[in-house]
Structure 1
Amino acid sequence: MNEVAKVIPLHGSGAGRDRTEHANRSRNRAEDSRSRHPSSYADTTPPIPLVPPVAAHPLDPVGPSDASQIAASQIDAAKTKLVETISDTAEFVRRRMAGDYVVDEFGYDPHFADALWLPLLRPLFDKWFRVEIKGIENIPNDGGALVVANHAGVIPVDALMASVAVRDHHPAHRPLRMLAADMAFEMPGVGTIARKAGHTLACNPDAERLLRMGQVAAVFPEGFKGIGKPFSERYKLQRFGRGGFVSAALKTGAPIIPCSIVGSEEIYPKIGDITPLARLMGMPYFPVTPFFPHLGPLGLIPLPSKWYIEFGKPIATDSYDAQASEDPMVLFELTDHVRETIQHTLYRLLAKRRNVFLG
């Protein structure tokens, strides 16, 4: 029985078909894998080159640091301020030497006040006491007006701060002409400066002349009783005198502007008075504070209390008849009205203040 051998072809069509099917299956598996994992194959598109960010480093030579820029700007500002100061000083000296300035009949020298005196007071006003102002618009832009304020602080710094407030912050930048006690003009040097700064004696003739000239005058009716009162009586108004300031306002028809100042009572807390020494020196009082006279000149540095100055609504006087200025009842009523207005405003400002030094 003849058997036919079964020959398995090595390179026949069946083997080729098997290899083709195997390749197709491999390719399909690869494509399926790529579809499931897109990151498994490389993108043939060339990448866009990126510029790496420059790392901030203290020693980085590219440009100055923020601290250097701030320091440079501060140096530039200081240089500019120095140049302006030198220029202003040179201009002041030139005008003084040439006589290019005007002095009025009271001795007021606006050039001296604006160029020399007020710049000395502004650091106290802006930086030390950090004065806040309210109601400055109640002072008229023109014509006479009488500002009436409370007085305190052992040394009358409150009057100086009020003058800076009106000159610098009023829309018309009007000068405030103080009516001061005789003693201010009897002290060597002080009287000359007071006259040049625009101030004069606290008397009715001078007050009436200033108001008729259309000036803004200021009076502190408490006088030495106000600035010399003990710390335990702070912000309690003393007697306002006999109403002389009201009489001057009535005769000229000038409005009265009540002014309340908070902060001045704490700059020199008066806890005592050396009366024999005050009499020997011809002074109304010789104050004792927690720092003076124990610390000598250092005790004269005022404490940096936070200040508030509020100018109240004008009290009109032009509706009264000509005889009102001689009527004791009218004078008393108006004086009491002004005093009560200032006192109530002081209480209101004190109620809002949370801290003597921070406000």
Structure 2
Amino acid sequence: MVTASSAARAAGNTGPQAVRVHQDSRIPGREAVDVLQHLVEVLQSTLTASGSVDDFGFDPEFTETILLPIIRPIYRAWFRVHTVGIENIPAVGAGLVVANHAGAIAVDAVMTQVAIHDEHAQHRFMRMLAADLVFKIPLLGEAARRAGHVRACVPNAERLLSSGEIVGVWPEGFKGVGKPFYKRYQLQRFGRGGFVSVALRTGAPLIPTAIVGSEEIYPIIGDAKSVAKLLNLPYFPITPTFPWLGPLGMIPLPSKWTIEFGEPIPTTQYGPDAADDPEIVFELTDLVRERIQQMLISRLVQRNNIF
């Protein structure tokens, strides 16, 4: 049985070279800031442009020609993402990618989107289920819609999967992405299994996905709860660099990432009525969570260097 303590030990097993920056990191801090500034400028000039979008606001042309080329250098040169098991993403038809969540902000969701598009033979787009908060932020909310983000709710998820889309979900939610660094790679509660019910109703396979590297980009050492309450945020992360260094403190640390897509768990054998059976839903929820935790521990044991 995988335990939280075993995950913590594995996360700490990074070897004596853990503090040395990987020689392949080629983007200095100044250039990372330039990338972010360029992203804002491009978004401001393109988000109001009309394009071919679906009912959710997804614009494939904007995503492929504007957004992905901006994010790709971060994916390739800053985080140096290595993917494993990309063949487990269906070439056609629906699939529900279920992943661990970490890193103060949802950078892991964006990196997973790039991985599936760039590494998969069919260059598939992943539609990400996002919290309401994302769509309330000026500029970011519209960019998220154009990039394929959809408000996380059962009807939206069912509609996308029924249409044969690849959908991404992070069941830990804010408890995962905002957890303190000492709890790194220890999966938080997966809720009541709503994502499993959706998969059962649509017959979509569940694809356990483990992301290693995301926990280190913004090591959360504290939570300014009073500031979070003032800003109406679920948390306000304090890291070794933020808010102490101002905007420079928002540059993520260049950890080396691995995204592993596990073997799909089929759901068609249960039938859509199983979505209303709590025993089956809880059983599959625990199975997915256990698979992800085991994959994380395995990857952490193999990792010699955080950077």
Q: Same fold (TM over 0.5)?
A: yes
RMSD: 1.4
Whether 2:291 is the aligned partner of 1:341: answer yes
Whether 2:222 is the aligned partner of 1:272: answer yes
Q: Is the 8 A contact 2:135 2:142 kept in 1?
A: yes
Q: Per-residue deviation at 1:285?
A: 0.7
Q: Per-residue deviation at 1:186?
A: 1.0
Which residue of structure 2 lines up, in the alignment, with residue 229 of structure 1? 179
Q: Per-residue deviation at 1:189?
A: 1.1
Q: Which of 193, 203, 226 does residue 243 from structure 1 map onto?
A: 193
- Unaligned regions of 5+ residues in structure 1, if any? 1-88
Q: Identify the structure with bigger relative contact order (alpha carbons < 8 Å, sequence gap 6+).
A: 2
Which residue of structure 2 lines up, in the alignment, with residue 199 of structure 1? 149
Of the two, which has the highest radius of gyration?
1
Which residue of structure 2 lines up, in the alignment, with residue 312 of structure 1? 262
Amino acid at match of 1:244: G
- Unaligned regions of 5+ residues in structure 2, if any? 1-41
Whether 2:232 is the aligned partner of 1:282: answer yes
Alignment of 1:107-126 (within 5 A): 107-126=57-76
Most deviating of 320-329 and 218-227:
320-329
For residue 237 of structure 1, give the secondary structure of its aligned residue in structure 2.
coil
Whether 2:78 is the aligned partner of 1:128: answer yes
CA distance in 1 between counterparts of 2:213 and 2:271 reads: 38
Amino acid at match of 1:250: L
Q: Per-residue deviation at 1:340?
A: 0.2
Which residue of structure 2 lines up, in the alignment, with residue 216 of structure 1? 166
Q: Is the 8 A contact 2:202 2:272 kept in 1?
A: no
CA distance in 2 between counterparts of 1:171 and 1:263 reads: 24
For residue 117 of structure 1, give the secondary structure of its aligned residue in structure 2.
helix
Q: Per-residue deviation at 1:322?
A: 3.0
Q: Write the deviation string for residues 125-167 of structure 1: whole angstroms up to 9, x where unpaired.
A: 0000000000000011111110000000001100000000001
Which residue of structure 2 lines up, in the alignment, with residue 80 of structure 1? none
Whether 2:213 is the aligned partner of 1:258: answer no
Q: Is the 8 A contact 2:203 2:272 kept in 1?
A: no
Q: Which of 262, 271, 282 does residue 321 from structure 1 map onto?
A: 271
Q: Which of 246, 251, 256 does residue 301 from structure 1 map onto?
A: 251
Q: Is the 8 A contact 2:203 2:271 kept in 1?
A: no
CA distance in 2 between counterparts of 1:182 and 1:328 reads: 26
Which residue of structure 2 lines up, in the alignment, with residue 60 of structure 1? none
Whether 2:242 is the aligned partner of 1:292: answer yes
Moved over 6 A (4+): none
For residue 146 of structure 1, give the secondary structure of its aligned residue in structure 2.
strand
Q: Write the deviation string for residues 204-236 of structure 1: whole angstroms up to 9, x where unpaired.
A: 100000001110000000000001000000000
Which residue of structure 2 lines up, in the alignment, with residue 151 of structure 1? 101
Amino acid at match of 2:181: F
Amino acid at match of 2:90: P
CA distance in 2 between counterparts of 1:209 and 1:282 reads: 30
Amino acid at match of 1:225: K
CA distance in 2 between counterparts of 1:105 and 1:274 reads: 38
Q: Per-residue deviation at 1:321?
A: 2.5
Whether 2:104 is the aligned partner of 1:167: answer no
CA distance in 1 between counterparts of 2:64 and 2:81 reads: 19
Amino acid at match of 2:54: D
Q: Percent identity?
A: 59
CA distance in 2 between counterparts of 1:160 and 1:259 reads: 14
Q: How many residues align?
A: 263
Q: Which of 127, 134, 138 does residue 184 from structure 1 map onto?
A: 134
Amino acid at match of 2:289: R
For residue 249 of structure 2, give the secondary structure of its aligned residue in structure 1.
helix
For residue 142 of structure 1, give the secondary structure of its aligned residue in structure 2.
coil
Return the TM-score normalized by structure 1. Answer: 0.72
Amino acid at match of 2:207: I
CA distance in 1 between counterparts of 2:133 and 2:58 reads: 18
Q: Write the deviation string for residues 3-46 of structure 1: whole angstroms up to 9, x where unpaired.
A: xxxxxxxxxxxxxxxxxxxxxxxxxxxxxxxxxxxxxxxxxxxx
For residue 313 of structure 1, give the secondary structure of its aligned residue in structure 2.
coil
Alignment of 1:35-54 (within 5 A): none
For residue 101 of structure 2, give the secondary structure of its aligned residue in structure 1.
coil
Which residue of structure 2 lines up, in the alignment, with residue 57 of structure 1? none
For residue 210 of structure 2, give the secondary structure of its aligned residue in structure 1.
strand
